[in-house]
Structure 1
Amino acid sequence: MDKFSPKTIEALGYYVYIYSDPVTKVPFYVGKGKGNRAFAHLHDGSESDKARKIAEIQARGRQPLIEILVFGLDEKAAYKVEAAAIDLLGLKNLTNKQAGHESSLYGRIEVSELDARFDHGELAESDFLEDAVLVKVNQLYRNGMSDFELYEVTRGFWRVDKSKVEGIHLALAVYDGMVLEAYEIAAWLPAGSGMCAARSVCQAELAHRMEFVGRVANRCIRDRYVGKGVSGLYAPGSANPIRYVKAAYSRKALVEIHRVLEDVELTGEKREWCSSFSFYDPQQDDPYGLENSLNELLDLAYRGGFVPVDYEVVYQSIGKDDIAARKASKKELSNLSDHQLVSILGYQFRDDHFDNGSWIRTYVAKGLAYHYFHELAARWGCL
């Protein structure tokens, strides 16, 4: 048999079909189509794996076993069924050259990954603690990729702004609006500098592209970004796979500020010195060199984003005017957003602007600055 009757064609609509060895009944090809598409491969004279397999069967005096897996579909549904069948049988076990249409979107996928795709928190620019480059891999990703394969398709080759990426040390692999993985970038190199097993670009194109080398980021960085949505960071209809994000706060600054404040918190003599600090007493004894180091922290806090321009508005949204001057309870802390926590710190720092020395004398001496920085450090995986 090499064609359907007109009545059968009318009843079939779009369908998905399978070619199998007539003796072993093992499938070797999955396709979709309408009309007499299922028979078209019988006369394929190409050098494809599928054509060679069919020719081998015909040389034995047989014909491939052709079965309709499902019919009565529209074209979109047929694509999905085809993709599911290929994923189930395994592309490596078939003569199909590629996975089914949109297989990476609708095909076989582990349940936790699927759940994360539809139920994930969304990242805003204010959530970034590192400058980052977001890399869309929609055209290259497929479900079931190995960790190495995902790294390879993420790292190159891309048209990027060299002046921007050379200062960026975090790359996020993005598929369908969700971060799949985070990479610490060791270096940006001209495209083609290293081996890239995942893709190829003609030599002329390499001159205008770059690649990075690196490794999977540490746990605290991955916990912050991986599995989160970033669709809102791309302009509607944007086709550019590259998106640069500037950090709202500096993780490095937080670590340094927390380190110094913790040292003061754990040393009674240093807390005592802070409580008696006076900006207007240049003769004050300073055996620990705290004045310089703490004033340097003030500058670091401003540069690190911990005095946001909207700190007053956000602070007022907390609804507790005294919270900066006391240690919030665990319950209160749990109800504060990261931005509200930062606004408390901003309030403390700006208070020093109006009363020189008050940050050291009040907020450091009483452990208030440490209290809120410690909460941020715990949330951001910096402890």
Structure 2
Amino acid sequence: MIERIPDAAIEALQYYVYRLVDPRDAATFYVGKGVGQRALQHARAALETAEIVDRLDRIREILRAGLEVEIVIHRHGLDEATAFAVEAAVIDAFPKLTNLVAGHHSQFSAAPLNELLDRYAAPPANITVAAILIKIEREWRPGLSADQLYERTRRYWRCRPMARKPPPTHAMAIARGIIREVYRVDRWVSYSDWPSDRDLSRSAADNEIWSGGARVGFEGTICPHLSTLRGNSVRHLVTGSAQNPITYVNC
């Protein structure tokens, strides 16, 4: 196993995108972006920690079989912004990865043409109620059931909706700039840790380490009289940091 990337090679590689390959079936199981020793850190973490993550579990299986993970440098000599874009494109090309998230700028990732047309040609939403818009980018995909969409929208957020004046009466699931569902908020709930009834199909909920502090969620139901908002765009309403999942409208 390669213990260290020499300094001269680090200088030449600059930012790079790499793949971890299982030698047992030649399958790429992880794609990452890094600089310096980053590509070697996964095998080290698998050996030195007991963290239970699909990526590390697979590496441990490979090592127990007396084999080594193959590290492929997919592209190198990149600046950081280009590395982010290449990483996202390579993640799209390998559908059965152990990556927990889709990669940087996942809004530009592979999608059916009809989904892209819906996304970019959707009419702007005219929201007249007090609403909290909740972006679920990492947790959304076409084909989610109604229950899955509700669970992935409704809780584990760092926000204070009840402090708004007025507080939001409705919550909207947002993905790729489009309203996916509208819910009437019946009540707000605080969480200090993952609850026992959490949705285990959520990658973030099942794998993210709780970092302290209360998080907020809501309980409610689908709002039929605002169903015409589904499929409308909120790009004109979402402002501020692209990483902030919460936007308030009319409150």
TM-score (norm: length of structure 1): 0.49
Match of 1:217 among 200, 203, 224: 224
- For residues 37 and 231 of structure 1, the distance between their equivalents in structure 2, rounded to whole angstroms, comes to 35
**TM-fit CA distance, 1:11:** 3.4
Which deviations, in whole Å up to 9, do the C-alpha atoms of 1:13-67 show, x marking residues without a partner?
2211112222321222222212343233333322244344334333333222221
Q: Which residues in structure 2 correspond to 1:296-311 (within 5 Å)? A: none
The answer (yes or no) to whether the contact 2:20–2:70 under 8 Å persists in 1 is: yes
Q: Which residues in structure 2 correspond to 1:65-76 (within 5 Å)? A: 65-76=70-81
Note if 1:171 corresponds to 2:175: no
Note if 1:94 corresponds to 2:68: no
Provide closer, same or farther for how the CA distance between residues 109 and 235 of structure 1 changes in structure 2, counting only shifts above 3 A: closer
The answer (yes or no) to whether the contact 2:20–2:31 under 8 Å persists in 1 is: yes
The CA RMSD measured in Å over matched residues stands at 3.8
Question: Partner letter of residue 70 of structure 1?
Answer: R
**TM-fit CA distance, 1:164:** 4.0
- For residues 75 and 211 of structure 2, the distance between their equivalents in structure 1, rounded to whole angstroms, comes to 41
What does residue 35 of structure 1 align with? 36
Note if 1:104 corresponds to 2:106: yes
The answer (yes or no) to whether the contact 1:82–1:100 under 8 Å persists in 2 is: no
The answer (yes or no) to whether the contact 1:133–1:172 under 8 Å persists in 2 is: yes
The answer (yes or no) to whether the contact 2:136–2:173 under 8 Å persists in 1 is: no
The answer (yes or no) to whether the contact 1:103–1:142 under 8 Å persists in 2 is: no
The answer (yes or no) to whether the contact 1:135–1:154 under 8 Å persists in 2 is: no
Structure 2 residues not aligned, in runs of 5+ = none
- For residues 103 and 12 of structure 1, the distance between their equivalents in structure 2, rounded to whole angstroms, comes to 23
Provide closer, same or farther for how the CA distance between residues 59 and 232 of structure 1 changes in structure 2, counting only shifts above 3 A: closer
- For residues 198 and 187 of structure 2, the distance between their equivalents in structure 1, rounded to whole angstroms, comes to 12
State the secondary structure of the residue aligned to 1:101: coil
Question: Partner letter of residue 37 of structure 1?
Answer: R
The answer (yes or no) to whether the contact 1:80–1:107 under 8 Å persists in 2 is: no
Greater C-alpha Rg: 1
TM-score (norm: length of structure 2): 0.69
Match of 1:229 among 220, 230, 233: 233
- For residues 211 and 110 of structure 1, the distance between their equivalents in structure 2, rounded to whole angstroms, comes to 32
Provide closer, same or farther for how the CA distance between residues 146 and 103 of structure 1 changes in structure 2, counting only shifts above 3 A: farther
- For residues 237 and 27 of structure 1, the distance between their equivalents in structure 2, rounded to whole angstroms, comes to 33
Question: Partner letter of residue 232 of structure 2?
Answer: K
**TM-fit CA distance, 1:68:** 1.7
Question: Partner letter of residue 101 of structure 1?
Answer: G
**TM-fit CA distance, 1:81:** 2.5
**TM-fit CA distance, 1:145:** 7.0
What does residue 180 of structure 1 align with? 179
More helix by share: 1
Question: Partner letter of residue 212 of structure 1?
Answer: E
- For residues 227 and 121 of structure 1, the distance between their equivalents in structure 2, rounded to whole angstroms, comes to 8
State the secondary structure of the residue aligned to 1:29: strand
Question: Partner letter of residue 182 of structure 1?
Answer: E
More strand by share: 2
The answer (yes or no) to whether the contact 1:104–1:143 under 8 Å persists in 2 is: no
Question: Partner letter of residue 46 of structure 1?
Answer: T
Shifted more, 22-31 versus 152-161: the winner is 152-161
- For residues 111 and 79 of structure 2, the distance between their equivalents in structure 1, rounded to whole angstroms, comes to 23
**TM-fit CA distance, 1:188:** 1.0
What does residue 50 of structure 1 align with? 55
- For residues 5 and 33 of structure 2, the distance between their equivalents in structure 1, rounded to whole angstroms, comes to 15
The answer (yes or no) to whether the contact 1:137–1:153 under 8 Å persists in 2 is: no
The answer (yes or no) to whether the contact 1:104–1:142 under 8 Å persists in 2 is: no
The answer (yes or no) to whether the contact 2:238–2:247 under 8 Å persists in 1 is: no
- For residues 108 and 227 of structure 2, the distance between their equivalents in structure 1, rounded to whole angstroms, comes to 25
The answer (yes or no) to whether the contact 2:17–2:75 under 8 Å persists in 1 is: yes
State the secondary structure of the residue aligned to 1:191: strand
Note if 1:82 corresponds to 2:87: yes
Question: Partner letter of residue 215 of structure 1?
Answer: I
- For residues 132 and 63 of structure 1, the distance between their equivalents in structure 2, rounded to whole angstroms, comes to 55
Provide closer, same or farther for how the CA distance between residues 228 and 31 of structure 1 changes in structure 2, counting only shifts above 3 A: same
